[in-house]
A and B are shown apart, each in its own frame.
Chain A
């Protein structure tokens, strides 16, 4: 696993808990999972999910369970769809963030999910350009 991956998700986590309520960690995990298609995404999803839960004072494991199930579901579609296409990233991030916003009890879910999925496309383009996930 590239050290940049941990650094990127760590930075996103700090931004998410202190400044921006975008599900940045989820977006990073999703785009990295789609690009790298590696299994080490599961321990990362587990660890960062637990850290997020501890900060938001939620029952530990809630976010981890969501991250793990969602990422596994994305991997399941790997053979059926072109998962690293922009349309798949858009739809999966839209659905995933919508479920996450429901779990977090957020308002304006549709608008926020739409903005989140646009950010996911932007993020995946940057990730592809920087090429930090080829391991």
Chain B
């Protein structure tokens, strides 16, 4: 009995190690991408159904107010950007060349969270991959809000690490150009850390990406909204102060996102 069980175990362990080795050397990329596509096609309707149920249970007027708030925040930021641009034009007597983004729409097919409604998702799986020219490092946005960064890709699906994920850290600035570092706190928490004590942070202020776009067009463009300051933690004995942020987008209710492929 034990011998038979041991043989079973060793047989499948051998196969697992074989697959692991082949996969490590990227020799199973094509079957893996088709397998993940098949899994995605099954999981996608489940997620859609869950979103639908959430939407019908959500209060209609509350949802409308949230959307209105989001749109007003965007207008406020646009206005601020216009003022800054105008000032720059006056100062330097040159006309900037406004560029639009090459956005790739994607559907969220997996947003696992530990307990739905209590824990927030920290990763998304989206239905676009290297076949759609998605690269590791591409930014993912919804309207003018940063959602996260592509961290893994296969032919047909990709993994987005959300800004609230503790593994994601990047430079950011406030609307008054105070510099700092965005750090995910896990479970929907977000912090604007490493801000000099001499700088002034204000509750309600927006925090934007400072821009770290690379030559291969991966990374974040400047001035994408990361979140809004809800509280500031400044201790006179510390070197830095930090602020707690809230994202303007509810990650648990997102079903469509956009991958920033490049600048046009």
Contacts and interface: CB of A to CB of B under 8 A. Distances in A.
B218 interface: no
6 contacts: A17-B112, A17-B125, A19-B47, A19-B113, A60-B19, A61-B18
Given A15-B46, A19-B47, A107-B166, A39 B16 contact: no
A36 interface: no
B122 to A, nearest CB: 7
Interface residues of B, number: 51
Contacts of A6: none
B209 interface: no
Contact of A55 (B5, B18, B110): B110
A18 B4 contact: no
A51 interface: yes
Interface of A: 14-22, 39, 42-43, 45-46, 49-51, 53-57, 59-62, 64-65, 68-69, 72, 75, 105, 107-108, 112, 115
B114 A112 contact: yes
Given A54-B39, A107-B122, A18 B114 contact: no
A23 B37 CA distance: 21
B125 A55 contact: yes
Contact of A56 (B44, B47, B159, B186): B159
A55 B124 CA distance: 11
Given A18-B110, A55-B39, A64-B19, A39 B4 contact: yes
Contacts, number: 122
Contact of B32 (A49, A54, A105): A54
Contact of A19 (B32, B50, B158): B50
B116 interface: yes
Nearest to A39: B8
Q: Point out which of B22, B44, B119 has the most chain A C-beta atoms below 10 A from its C-beta.
A: B119
Contacts of A16: 112
A55 B36 contact: yes
B69 interface: no
A61 B19 contact: yes
- List the 3 closest pairs (A to B, CB-CB), nearest first: A61-B20, A18-B43, A21-B112
B17 interface: yes
Interface of B: 4-5, 8-9, 11-13, 15-24, 28, 32, 35-36, 39-40, 42-44, 46-47, 50, 109-116, 119, 121-122, 125, 152-154, 157-159, 166-167, 186-187
Contact of B20 (A15, A59, A105, A112): A59
B25 to A, nearest CB: 10
A22 B114 contact: yes
A49 B16 contact: yes
A62 B15 CA distance: 11
B20 A60 contact: yes
Given A43-B12, A57-B154, A60-B28, A18 B17 contact: no
Given A19-B112, A61-B17, A65-B20, A14 B43 contact: yes
Contacts of B152: 57
A59 to B, nearest CB: 5
A76 B145 CA distance: 52
A69 to B, nearest CB: 7
A127 B116 CA distance: 24
A19 B46 contact: yes
Given A16-B112, A20-B113, 9 more contacts: A14-B46, A42-B8, A54-B36, A57-B154, A59-B24, A60-B20, A61-B16, A65-B13, A105-B167
Contacts of A115: 114-115
Nearest to A43: B12
Contact of B16 (A20, A46, A107): A46
